[in-house]
Structure 1
Amino acid sequence: MDEEPLVSVVRGTPTPEELAALVCALAGRSASEDSPSRKPTPTPWTRSARPAAVRPSWRSSGQPR
């Protein structure tokens, strides 16, 4: 193996749990960049908190639903 490692510990002696947490964090970070980003759809609960975002204007916000 003549390749350099992707991650190396420079200082300290991490526990196996700490190394596992680091690997999981790095894997999660790289996976999010590879997958296409999708804008999450708002839930009905989120939409109810922002009724003005659904209304076309401030005039219609006072009208019954």
Structure 2
Amino acid sequence: MSEGAEQAAPVAPLLRVVKGEPSAEELAALTVVVAALSQRRERRRPTPVGGWASYGRTHRTALTTGPGGWRAAGGPA
């Protein structure tokens, strides 16, 4: 082989029809769908929600008796 010639490695086909004879339009549509699905997309992470939206805050705690009990019944300390 000459020094300037590079040997190309065989590339596996992206799609292969194993049954039937699809038309050119059907192959084009399938190729577009497969290419669109194979693109890497960035995952969307849920927006963090603060403690103010916690479900647990909708429940009342038991009332405390004794000195300062009226303050404790008013909300979180």
- Give the TM-score normalised by structure 2: 0.43
Structure with higher helix content: 1
